[in-house]
Structure 1
Amino acid sequence: MQDWSAFIAAMRVGGWVVYPLTVLAVLAIAIILDRAYVFARFSSYSEQNLVTVPRGNAFRRVAEAITGNGATPIWLREAKAQAAAVHIERDMGRGLWVLETIVTAAPLLGLLGTIVGMMHSFQLFGGQGLVNPGGVTGGVAQSLVATAIGLVVALIALFAFNYFSRRLERMMDDLEAFATEKLAEIRLDQETLEAAT
């Protein structure tokens, strides 16, 4: 309980800049949790369980785009698979641009808090010397707290952005390999059927 009271006291010292930083932190956490859920639920692949995975699963969406009735030409199946991959990449990457923006905005807000705190400290210097030593240290504390919070928020968002971006790249590579394999199987079946007739 004492840790929380010290944390709340530090937040109060940080000044008004702490409020937008808190909004950015909550937004980053919400996006991180959302993307973690989406990637855990919709990016897994198992050859045996492709039918039982959720409808929004990326591999199932590509498989459904590739399969069709036997009369569908292969070029149309490829085009449908490509369109599905574009939609999947957009859906899975939703919100990542916000994380990338938070990576930039949080340290800048922390820097703004630093500048405001230092300006507050320097205003306390008068023509007759130092007027209020406690006020000067309070301004410095405000600037340090705002900077620290901004950096922590930016680091969390940066690690999450890099992780999800890499995971999305890897999933798109796996999807491409999956689609290529399925289309090759369809081509082989068509060639075998044509050779038999």
Structure 2
Amino acid sequence: MNEWNGIAEALRLGGWVIYPLSLLAIFALAITFDRMYVWWRYARMPRDGAVRALPDEHVLRRVDMLFDDSSMPIWRIEGQVETAASQIEREMGRGLWLLETIVTAAPLLGLLGTIVGMMHSFRLIGGDGLVSPSGVSGGVAQALVATAIGLVIALIALFAFNYFSRRVDRLMDDVETFANGRIGDLRLARERSGAAS
């Protein structure tokens, strides 16, 4: 329980900058949990390679369904695959721009809290010397708390941003590999049927 009291006291010392920092932390966590759910639900790769068993909303199944019309020309299927791939990339990367912004904004807000706290401390130092030692130390504490919280938020958002950005890149490689394999199989099947007739 003492740890929670210490955290509450640190937040109180942080000053007004803690409120926008808390908002950034909530956004970062919300985006992270949302992306985790989306990846788990729609982009988890099948272990046995059974794409047909996946739900229709899964990214590989969405690409796989483009090959259902076997009479469609290959150039048309390739165009649809490219369109679907860019749409999938957009959907899977949704919200990552905000995480990237939080990575930059959180330390800057912490720095703003540092400057405000230090200005408060220096204001208490009058022309006759030190006026209020507890006031000066409180301003320094506000400066340090705001900076520390801003850095922690930025680190969490940075790790989440890098993780999901890398996952988007890997997913697009998987989609491209899958689509190229399906297009190759389709070309081979059409060549065989053309040679047989």
Structure 1 residue 69 displacement after superposition: 2.2
Q: Distance in 2 between matches of 1:90 and 1:43?
A: 13
The answer to whether 1:15 aligns with 2:15 is yes
- Alignment partner, residue 50 of structure 2: 49
Letter of the 1:80 partner, please give it.
Q
One-letter identity of the residue aligned with 2:195:
A
1:30 aligns with 2:30: yes
Equivalent residue pairs, number: 196
Q: Partners in 2 of 1:133 and 1:14 — Cα distance?
A: 18
State the one-letter code of the partner of 1:69.
D
Q: Report the CA distance between 1:89 and its aligned residue.
A: 0.2
Q: Calculate percent identity across the aligned residue pairs.
A: 58
For residues 94 and 69 of structure 1, the distance between their equivalents in structure 2, rounded to whole angstroms, comes to: 30
Shift of 1:98: 0.3
Matched, 1:78 2:51: no
The separation in 1 between residues aligned to 2:129 and 2:183, in whole angstroms, is 80
Please give the secondary structure, in 2, of the residue aligned with 1:118: helix
Q: What residue in structure 2 maps to residue 173 of structure 1?
A: 173
SS at match of 2:53: coil
Superposition pairs for residues 6-155 of structure 1, below 5 Å?
6-46=6-46, 48-65=49-66, 67-155=67-155
| Structure 2 residues not aligned, in runs of 5+ | none
How far apart, in 2, do the equivalents of 1:191 and 1:97 lie? 45
TM-score of the superposed pair, with normalisation by structure 2: 0.97
Deviates more, 1:104-113 or 1:52-61: 52-61
Cα drift, residue 40 of structure 1: 1.4
What's the secondary structure of 2:70's corresponding residue?
Answer: coil
What is the one-letter code of the residue matched to 2:50? N
Shift of 1:99: 0.3
Q: What displacement does 1:70 show?
A: 2.4
Q: Aligned partner of 1:191: which letter?
A: E
Structure 1 match to 2:191: 191
Of 130-139 and 42-51, deviating more is 42-51
Distance, in Å, in 2 between the alignment partners of 1:43 and 1:110 is 36
CA displacement at 1:77 relative to structure 2: 0.3
Partner SS for 1:22: helix
Deviates more, 1:181-190 or 1:33-42: 33-42
Letter of the 2:38 partner, please give it.
Answer: V
Q: How far does residue 2 in structure 1 lie from its aligned partner after superposition?
A: 1.4
Deviation of the 1:48 alpha carbon: 4.7
Q: AA paired with 1:167?
A: R
- Shift of residue 41, structure 1, vs aligned partner: 1.5
Between the aligned partners of 1:179 and 1:17, the Cα distance in structure 2 is 49
Query: What SS does the aligned partner of 1:45 have?
Result: coil
Q: 1:165 to 1:48 in 2, by over 3 A?
A: closer
Corresponding residue number in structure 2 for 1:162: 162
